[in-house]
Structure 1
């Protein structure tokens, strides 16, 4: 508790909270729509609450809700959720340089509380991959606000789902919220290309049964993103080799 209290008093903790205030608005709207959608799709209130608290992955939850609603096989549901969350493998690889010295329990907690907007804010604040004492308090500041911004509206949506009429247009509001969060994540060419590929694949595979176009879009986006990252990495390595060769000739 003393270590946690010390982190809460750090200026970096407050910096993490401040940096997430803007994205938290979109995350909250997204959480509200997801909570309502889970119950409206036929999920019980208790199961929806359990999913919100345990899974804590908005994109994965929204991806599997239509699959659950149409009675898709469990393997399709699991595969879709896994593919949607593959990006966290990339996040973890990049975060390893910052947090690998932390105890296992701390790293597991970081894995649970991590999120897209947290990752983007963290990498903007700490672009150099090297440990620093203010990184952990900053992460927990951002993660705390993000978790509350998701869970409070999500739980409210679950509990009030039957009292909220469809005429309110929450589905459209949810799309707008997701677009707002998505635009904040488009920080480089790789994410832009992956987004465009996902949109094109989802439309092209629209006729597939069981909402499998979602799975196709996710796989295509991950493949495009990884290919872009690999290409840019090789280009940087070749540029460094050419520079080194040029310096040796001199």
Structure 2
């Protein structure tokens, strides 16, 4: 990244907004780290160390990793693994569309880097700080401050879980701890009625379709949540037109 990346004379890591983004992400980093540790342990028990490290660094999407790992371990067809990961990560298409007014002017290579480091909570914090969809010099440094903190908060515990996974007894209940951490992260994303309804529908759909093989209940839950979310977005528009 060069000086123009920050939209001003300072490189992003020296801009005050970088420290602001890092500081705000630090407040929720413990929950991210707990989930990263659980994901690392789950991956190494199913895939072994080399594949787990590769997946952690390349995929960098905790929900997709956790959804894919049991399918890979069970020998599910490749198309099922890909379809599950794609459905789980569909929300990032929405994130990217929301970020377009802020970062569309940047070079393609830099936008691809932003896409790799995009995560749920740095999206939430970014939109909370910059609700108006127009570019500003401090936006990119703020993004990198939060993204760098989020990446380290995830990868360090994840690698630790991979390295120590075989030594972690099953009766420690890390899976339940990870579920609690995920619920804590989920709460920060439930900001309005539409997200609450979508989350409730997804939960009901996942339970109702639990008997499906290959964890396809996850795909069903995501499809139901996306459908109800789109429906709730369309209803106000139709009312205004009427």
Shorter-chain TM band: over 0.9
Structure number with bigger Rg: 1
SS at match of 1:8: helix
TM-score normalized by the length of structure 2? 0.94
Shift of 1:233: 4.8
- Tell me which residue corresponds to 1:146: 150
Q: 1:109 aligns with which of 109, 113, 119?
A: 113
- Tell me which residue corresponds to 2:17: 12
Q: 1:26 aligns with which of 24, 31, 39?
A: 31
CA distance in 2, matches of 1:82, 1:9: 36
Q: Does 1:74 align with 2:70?
A: no
Deviations, residues 87-110 of structure 1 (Å, cap 9, x unaligned): 111111110000000111110011
Count of residues in Structure 1 that have an aligned counterpart in Structure 2: 237
Shift of 1:77: 0.6
CA distance in 2, matches of 1:233, 1:132: 30
- Tell me which residue corresponds to 1:65: 69
Distance 1:185 1:153, change over 3 A: same
TM-score normalized by the length of structure 1? 0.91
Q: Give unmatched runs, 5+ long, in structure 1.
A: 243-250
Q: 1:92 aligns with which of 88, 91, 96?
A: 96
Deviations, residues 180-210 of structure 1 (Å, cap 9, x unaligned): 1001111122211111111000000011111
Q: Give unmatched runs, 5+ long, in structure 2.
A: none
Q: 2:140 aligns with which of 136, 141, 144?
A: 136
